[in-house]
Structure 1
Amino acid sequence: MTQYDVAIIGSGPGGYVAAIRCAQLGMKTAIIEKYSTLGGTCLNVGCIPSKALLDSSHHYEDAIKHFDTHGIEIPGDVKVNLKKMISRKQSVVDQTCAGVKFLMDKNKIEVYEGIGSFKDATHIDIKKNDGKTETIEAKNIIIATGSKPSTLPFIKLDKKRIITSTEALELKEVPKHLIVIGGGVIGLELGQVYKRLGAEVTVVEFMDRIVPGMDKALSKELTKVMKKQKVKFNLSHKVTSVENKGDEVVVKAEDKKGQEVTFTGDYCLVSVGRRPFTDGLNIEAAGVEMEKNGTIAVNEHLQTNIPNIYAIGDVVRGAMLAHKAEEEGTFVAEILAGQKPHIDYNLIPGVVYTWPEVAAVGKTEEELKEAGVAYKVGQFPMRALGRARASMDLDGFVKILADKETDEVLGVHMIGARVADLIAEAVTAMEFRASAEDISRMSHAHPTFAEAVKEAALAATDNRALHV
Structure 2
Amino acid sequence: MDPQVQPEVYDLLILGSGAGAKLLAWTFAGQGQRVAVVERKYVGGACPNIACLPSKNVIHTAQIAHNVRRSEEFGVSIDNFRINMPAVRDRKRRMVQGLVDTHLALYKQSGAELIMASGRFVGPRVLEATLADGTKRLLTGKNIVIGTGTHAAIENIPGMAAAQPLTHVEALELDVVPEHLIILGAGYVGLEFAQAMRRFGSQVTVVDRNERVIHGEDEDTTEGLQSLLEDEGIKLVLNAKVKSVAGVSGQSVRVTLSQNGVERTLEGTHLLVAAGRVPNTKDIGLDLVGVELTERGYIKVNERLETSAPGVWAVGEVAGSPQFTHISEDDFRVVRDNLLGGNHVTTGRQVPFCLFTDPEFARIGMTEKEARSKGIAYRLFKVPMTHVLRARSLMETRGFLKCLVERDSDRILGFAAFGVGAGEIMACVQIAMLGRMPYTSLREAILAHPTIPEGLIALFSSAAS
TM-score range, shorter chain: over 0.9
1:72 lines up with 2:76 in the alignment: yes
Alpha-carbon deviation of 1:385?
2.2
For residue 214 of structure 1, the aligned residue among 213, 217, 231 is 217
In structure 1, how many angstroms separate the alpha carbons of the residues matched to 2:344 and 2:28? 14
Structure 1 CA distance, aligned partners of 2:383 and 2:168? 34
Tell me which residue corresponds to 2:257: 253
Query: Residues 259-311 of structure 1: CA distance to partner in whole angstroms, max 9, x if unpaired?
Result: 11211111111110111111231111211111111011111100011120001
Matched with 1:429 is 432
Query: Alpha carbons of 1:337 and 1:159: their partners in 2 closer, same or farther (altered >3 Å)?
Result: farther
Shift of 1:39: 1.6
Give the letter for the 1:248 counterpart: S
- 1:25-73 superposed Cα distances (whole Å, 9 cap, x missing partner): 55322111011x41212111111111110001110110121x2222223
Partner in structure 2 of residue 181 of structure 1: 184
Inter-partner Cα distance in structure 1 for 2:444 and 2:159: 56
Q: Which residue of 2 aligns with 1:21?
A: 27
Deviations 1:309-341 (A, max 9, x none): 001111122321111111102210121011344
SS of the counterpart of 1:30?
strand
- Change beyond 3 A, Cα 1:4–1:56: same
Q: Do 2:163 and 2:253's aligned partners in 1 also have CA atoms closer than 8 Å? A: no
Q: Deviations over 1:377-411 (max 9, x none)?
A: 11122122221122221111111011100121111
Q: Deviations over 1:68-127 (max 9, x none)?
A: 2222233x4111111011000111111112111111111111111101111212211100
Partner of 2:309: 306
Sequence identity (%): 30
1:353 and 2:353 aligned: no
Shift, 1:213, TM fit: 2.4
Following the alignment from structure 1 to structure 2, what is the Cα–Cα distance between the partners of residues 7 and 453? 46
Alpha-carbon distance in structure 2 between the residues aligned to 1:407 and 1:335: 34
Offset at 1:354? 0.8
- Which is worse superposed, 48-57 or 147-156? 147-156
1:119 pairs with 2:125 = no
Which residue of structure 2 aligns with residue 7 of structure 1? 13
Shift of 1:206: 0.7
Q: 1:352: Cα distance to partner?
A: 0.7
Single out whichever of 141-150 and 347-356 deviates more from structure 2. Answer: 347-356
Matched residues in 2 for 1:316 and 1:106: separation? 28
Report the TM-score when normalising by structure 1.
0.94
Spell out the pairing of 1:446-461 with structure 2 (5 A cutoff).
446-459=449-462
Question: Out of 38, 52, 76, which is 2:57 matched to?
Answer: 52
In structure 1, what is the equivalent of residue 40 of structure 2? 34
> Unpaired runs of 5+ in structure 2?
1-6
Relative to structure 1, the CA distance from residue 260 to residue 156 in structure 2 (aligned partners, 3 Å threshold; closer, same or farther) is closer
Q: The residue matched to 2:123 in structure 1 has which SS?
A: coil
Instruction: Tell me whether 241-250 or 202-211 shows the greater mean CA deviation.
Output: 241-250
Residue of structure 2 equivalent to 1:165: 168
CA distance in 1, matches of 2:309, 2:11: 16
CA distance in 1, matches of 2:162, 2:393: 43
Q: Residues 303 and 347 of structure 2 are in contact (CA less than 8 Å); yes or no, is this contact kept in structure 1?
A: no
Contact 1:162–1:244 at 8 Å: present in 2 too? no
Question: Are the equivalent residues in 1 in contact too, given 2:85–2:177 (CA < 8 A)?
Answer: yes
Q: Quick one: which of 190, 194, 200 aligns to 2:197?
A: 194
Structure 1: distance between partners of 2:318 and 2:464: 43
Deviation at 1:435, TM superposition (A): 2.1
The CA RMSD measured in Å over matched residues stands at 1.8
Alignment of 1:269-308 (within 5 A): 269-308=272-311
Alignment partner, residue 365 of structure 1: 368
CA contact (8 A) 1:346 1:363 kept: no
The answer as to whether partners of 1:161 and 1:248 remain within 8 angstroms in 2 is: no
Contact 1:157 1:163 in 2 (8 A): no
- Separation of aligned partners in 2, 1:25 and 1:359: 37
CA separation of 1:286/1:243 partners in 2, compared to 1, >3 Å: closer, same or farther?
same
Give the C-alpha shift of residue 160 in structure 1.
7.0
Letter in 2 for 1:23: A
SS of corresponding position for 1:119? strand
Match of 2:395 in 1: 392
Letter matched to residue 78 of structure 1 = F
Which of 303, 320, 323 aligns to 1:320? It is 323
1:25–1:425: structure 2 CA closer, same or farther, 3 Å change rule? Answer: farther
Higher relative contact order by CA 8 Å / sep ≥ 6: 1 or 2? 1
Distance 1:18 1:59 in 2: 37
Distance 2:354 2:159 in 1: 30
Candidates 410, 414, 418, aligned match of 1:411: 414
Mind listing any 5+ residue stretches in structure 1 that lack a counterpart?
Answer: none
Q: Distance in 2 between matches of 1:213 and 1:277?
A: 25
Q: Any conservation in 2 of the 1:347–1:430 contact (CA below 8 Å)?
A: no
Aligned residues: 458
What is residue 3 of structure 2 aligned with on the other side? none
> Which residue of 2 is the match for residue 43 of structure 1?
48
Q: Distance in 1 between matches of 2:290 and 2:193?
A: 39
